[in-house]
Amino acid sequence: MPKRRDFLALVLIVVPWTLLLTLWHQRAGNPLLPVPKVNRTGVSKAHQRNFRLHEPCIIKNKHITEVTQMKYVHSRSPPWSDALPTLHVITPTYRRPVQKAELTRLTNTLLHVHNLHWLVVEDAAERTALVSRLLENTGLNYTHLYVETPQNLKVLKKPRNARIPRGTMQRNLALRWLRENINPSSGHKGVVYFADDDNTYSLELFEEMRWTRKASVWPVAFVGGLRYESPKINSQGKVFGWRTVFDPRRPFAIDMAGFAVNLQLIFSKPQAYFKLKGVKGGYQESSFLQDLITLSDLEPKASNCTKVLVWHTRTERPLLVNEGKKGFTNASVEV
């Protein structure tokens, strides 16, 4: 009798453990249990955040619930997909009569884009009510920043190289925000794009730039006095020059709207920013890109740079001649 019992015990020990060990061995490459992600970035679903840079900003592993507070159901942005890289779109903006109109139509475009994080940086001493309200009502995933370009450096009377090109401080602030708020080792996949508020973007453009591994480039319409400027691509599919008339010898003879950079590349070169002063006209983009990448590493998009997917449109300044000195229209109505 005891022998059978011992035999049973032996079987009960050996069989399950053999099974377990064989299974374990099989799944050695693919863990059965999920691997925890450390410090996942807080950029998820339709959350909204206002950010002051001097506050300590540590984003812990938060699960931010989806905020659906839209007045008009049809303007909800597309659902977040964890499989897609995030597009961090940086838009500097400043106050002028067409500002609300420009931001409105940019919003209407961005609402179609999946996994978008819009960083709006105002050239202002504080967040304006107009932009704050507009951003709240869009339902987009946004971060609202602000930094004022010092007045004396905006003045046009100063010589070119003493001026800070418009939007520079704002773009740099957004870059700094990304570097300080997203953990590079969190596995977050993102691409950074600088979108001015008066250009026109097609949806195809955003999907082309989403798969940027280091930095990607494409043609831009209506810049440099041409129908479009574009990078020159050789037979190996590499960029070797620039098809522009205005100073094609620039290191990166490309408009702000013509390139996107992978977020990991930006993290790996923490000194890369847009140069503030002493930048010759048209060299702003180069001042940033030359610290990041070489020409041969650029990835051409838009069918090897043969399609135009973004237009450098400029909006006319409205002639407010009939407002007169005291303002004809009611100042409390927001335009």
Partner 1 sequence: MRMRLKLKTVFVMYFMVSLLGLIYALMQLGQRCDCRDHGMSKDQQISHLRTELQKLQEHIKTSELKKTDVPKIYVITPTYARLVQKAELTRLTLTFLHVPQLHWIVVEDAPQPTPLVTDFLAASGLTYTHLHKLTPKDRKLQEGDPSWLKPRGAEQRNEGLRWLREMGAAAEGKEAAALEEAVVYFADDDNTYSLQLFEEMRYTYRVSVWPVGLVGGMKFERPVVEDGKVVRFHTGWRPNRPFAMDMAGFAVSLRSVMTNPEARFDGDAQMGFLESSFLQNLVTMDDLEPKADLCTKVLVWHTRTEKPKMKREDALQKQGLGSDPDVEV
Residue 262 CB, nearest distance to partner 1 (Å)?
Answer: 14
Residue 3 CB, nearest distance to partner 1 (Å)?
Answer: 8
Query: Which letter does DSSP use for residue 168 in this model?
Result: H
Residue placing its CB nearer to partner 1 in the complex, 165 or 219: 219
Site for partner 1 in 52-71 (CB under 8 A): 71
Residue placing its CB nearer to partner 1 in the complex, 202 or 290: 202
Rg (CA), the chain: 26
DSSP result, 246-259: S-TTSTT---GGGE
Distance CA 147, CA 61 (A): 28
CA distances from 177 to 53, 126, 180, 181, 332 (A): 7, 17, 5, 6, 34
Residue 184 CB, nearest distance to partner 1 (Å)?
Answer: 17
The answer to whether residues 15 and 7 touch, using CB atoms and an 8 Å cutoff, is no
Residue 274 CB, nearest distance to partner 1 (Å)?
Answer: 24
CA distances from 112 to 92, 142, 186, 199 (A): 20, 14, 27, 16
Instruction: List 243's β-bridge partners, or say none.
Output: 230
Site for partner 1 in 115-134 (CB under 8 A): none
Which window, 124-132, 141-149, 162-170, 327-335, contacts partner 1 (CB under 8 A)? 327-335
Distance CA 48, CA 143 (A): 7
Site for partner 1 in 253-312 (CB under 8 A): 306-308, 311-312
Residue placing its CB nearer to partner 1 in the complex, 172 or 230: 230
Site for partner 1 in 164-193 (CB under 8 A): 187
Residue placing its CB nearer to partner 1 in the complex, 169 or 209: 209
Which window, 151-159, 214-222, 258-266, 274-282, contacts partner 1 (CB under 8 A)? 214-222
Distance CA 7, CA 20 (A): 20
Site for partner 1 in 20-49 (CB under 8 A): 29-31, 33-37, 40
70-80 b/e with 16+ CB inside 10 Å = b? Answer: eeeeeebbeeb
From 190, 219, 282, 300, residue interacting with partner 1 (rule: CB under 8 A): 219
Residue 35 CB, nearest distance to partner 1 (Å)?
Answer: 5
Residue 55 CB, nearest distance to partner 1 (Å)?
Answer: 27
**Which of the residues are catalytic?**
285
Distance CA 33, CA 152 (A): 59
258: tokens are 């013509």
Which window, 45-53, 75-83, 125-133, 281-289, contacts partner 1 (CB under 8 A)? 75-83
Distance CA 17, CA 11 (A): 10
Binding mask 220-259 toward partner 1 (x if CB under 8 A, else -) reads -xx-xxxxx--------------x-xx-------------
Site for partner 1 in 93-112 (CB under 8 A): 97-98, 100-102, 104-105, 108-109, 111-112
CA distances from 223 to 1, 72, 168, 250 (A): 94, 36, 19, 15
The answer to whether residues 164 and 276 touch, using CB atoms and an 8 Å cutoff, is yes
